[in-house]
Structure 1
């Protein structure tokens, strides 16, 4: 039996980190639960104190295929390298023309830097760009391949 799963990211500012990943993945804000017109209405009906309303954010695949991602505010900051990270596979594969692949990778990297990410390293296989390692606004690593 397959187990349904989602991904949760601990962070200091759920809305900032969610906005970055929304751009990175092409996801959209998760709609309010069925029966509620808005998250604000749901939070109020669930008696969540208003000072906690910004403690979480949630994204969903607009096609409904890939897992949802939640972002939860935690008191501690990131202190070590991720043991798990996402590879954003935008390049099209190593068999694709290198110039096309590099353009796709660099274009996506540029969008993510504009969204608050930063480049940590570029990795090459000889003279060919293999992937770029980035950090999201709070330092969580990801690769653009």
Structure 2
């Protein structure tokens, strides 16, 4: 799942590859070991959100905000908060392609949209909090 989702993302926005340090010469991220940690972490976060779905805010909210704060510091490597909706879109797109189209299909897809909106919203919140903190520190050091 991980590599297919990321391949979707990299096809839509090839510049995201650079945020992960993936050289242009790498065609398939499954065969690029330095990326494996990011992929496993990505899936682990989604897995933990699903496992904690009934206490999502209490269990995962702070974790996701912390990851967002960390992502802020990856801007020099090419990370942009504007990529977050793209990640959500590609995950939901992957789910749309690979789940059974039975009677619960629309409900499942809506649930994934809600979960991905929550995850990306918390990550964006963390990015913004860290941006404000960094700005405040710069202002204090200028005084």
TM-score, normalised to structure 1's length? 0.28
Q: Pick the structure with more strand per residue.
A: 1
Q: Pick the structure with more helix per residue.
A: 2
TM-score, normalised to structure 2's length? 0.28
- Larger RCO (CA within 8 A; separation ≥ 6): 2
